[in-house]
Amino acid sequence: MEYVSMPGLPFPASRVALGTWAIGGWLWGGTDAADAIRTIHAALDLGVNLVDTAPVYGFGRAEELVGEALAASGRRDRVLVATKCGLDWTRGALRRDASPARIAREVEDSLRRLRVDVIDLYQVHWPDAGVPLDETGRALEGLARAGKIRAIGVSNFTAAQVERFRATAPVATVQPPYNLFERGIDAELLPYCRKEGIATLAYGALCRGLLSGRMAPGTTFQGDDLRRGDPKFRPPRFAQYLAAVAALDALARDRFGRTVLELAVRWLLDQPGVSVALWGARRPSQLDPVPRVFGWRLDDAARARVDQIVREHVTDPVGPEFMAPPDSA
């Protein structure tokens, strides 16, 4: 495992963090509590000490499972707990709400569900155009002064939004979507974070499973699985992405003796400015490859070949924009 120091946190964080969106069940076809808890414990056993969650992941369920797992493990003092605020689902539909009143309620609910006295990293889940950024920033600053949170982060913000937010509150971390196929932050956000010394937590490291190497042309998704609405998983794009994955897997095996999954996460960790890759899992076996991400790096020739493969096969790329919830305004 590799570790990295981040502003405001009491000890260095593992460069692979456990992402718990899927553990919450919502938009991932449900969840199994026993499997979820075993998965969290397996991550800790592998040296993962940063667990990232959010109230909206299962509408509180993921936070509850994280809290239960940490209490059972007896390792709370060695784990960094990150969660989020600013999304409301109480009116029957998901919408952004980063108002101070909403945040004041959310933090208490999160503390209770997580069974902790302080949240190590508290992140605004999405920027809310209906609430001035300075109001949201002051609310989080107040929580830090009150000792309810240690560090402040933002998620899904542009560089310009981060800059405006920082006029009111310090930003320790930024959490954007980023992977081999979704590189929108390369243009502005990632260079900005490098320049300003802001840690970057990249989510979607495996592009919602595309880069796992376990999908085939006949793969289908059931129920509320968010990939049913993801343009990447619909024809003709799905075939393009699968072809790219096959070529990347061949490169990983021939050049490094690794799988495409391990290549994808190593590529992410090797990107200048990326501090942490979020690894989503809901079964312990999905964490088995974690150790094989470390102890090697991509050379310049391999990185160039990765870029060439993506350009050659994905002729109609699309980003993760479909996931954005509506504003409160």
Query: In the predicted model, what is the mean pLDDT of residues 161-172?
Result: 96
Residue 152 has pLDDT above 60, yes or no: yes
Query: In the predicted model, what is the mean pLDDT of residues 120-131?
Result: 95
Q: How many domains does the chain have?
A: 1
Please report whether residue 321 resides in a domain: no
What CATH number is given to the structural domain containing 279? 3.20.20.100
| Selection from 113, 103, 56 nearest residue 81 by Cα | 113
Residue 329 has pLDDT above 90, yes or no: no
Q: pLDDT for 172-207, tens place per residue?
A: 999 999 999 999 999 999 999 999 999 999 999 999
Active-site amino acid positions: 57
Confidence category of residue 29, pLDDT binned at 50, 70, 90: low
Please report whether residue 328 resides in a domain: no
Confidence category of residue 75, pLDDT binned at 50, 70, 90: confident
Q: Residue 322's pLDDT is what? A: 76
Domain that holds residue 132: 8-213+269-297
Residue 290 has pLDDT above 90, yes or no: yes
Q: Residue 27's pLDDT is what? A: 56
Residue 18 CA to residue 257 CA, distance in Å, equals 25
Residue 28 has pLDDT above 80, yes or no: no
Please report whether residue 235 resides in a domain: no
Q: pLDDT for 260-287, tens place per residue?
A: 999 999 999 999 999 999 999 889 999 9
| Selection from 24, 18, 81 nearest residue 48 by Cα | 18
Please count the other Cβ atoms lying within 10 Å of the Cβ belonging to residue 239.
Answer: 11
Please report whether residue 232 resides in a domain: no
Q: Residue 282's pLDDT is what? A: 86
CA distances from 74 to 59, 62, 65, 90 (A): 25, 18, 14, 33
Q: Residue 97's pLDDT is what? A: 93
Please report whether residue 236 resides in a domain: no
Confidence category of residue 66, pLDDT binned at 50, 70, 90: very high
Please report whether residue 193 resides in a domain: yes
Q: pLDDT for 315-326, tens place per residue?
A: 999 888 877 777
Helices 100-114, 61-73: axis angle to 10 degrees equals: 40
Query: In the predicted model, what is the mean pLDDT of residues 56-85?
Result: 92
Q: Residue 25's pLDDT is what? A: 60
Query: In the predicted model, what is the mean pLDDT of residues 105-114?
Result: 96
Residue 41 has pLDDT above 80, yes or no: yes
Helices 300-313, 260-270: axis angle to 10 degrees equals: 120
Q: What percent of the chain has pLDDT over 90?
A: 79
Q: Residue 222's pLDDT is what? A: 78
Residue 266 CA to residue 126 CA, distance in Å, equals 27
Q: In the chain, which ranges are continuous DSSP H helix?
A: 21-24, 33-45, 61-73, 100-114, 133-145, 159-166, 189-196, 237-251, 260-270, 300-313
DSSP-based three-state secondary structure for 305: helix
Cis bond before residue 284 (omega within 30° of 0): no
Please report whether residue 323 resides in a domain: no
Whether 121 contacts 173, CB under 8 Å: yes
Please report whether residue 229 resides in a domain: no
Share the mean pLDDT of the chain.
Answer: 92
Q: pLDDT for 224-269, tens place per residue?
A: 777 888 899 999 999 999 999 999 999 999 999 999 999 999 999 9
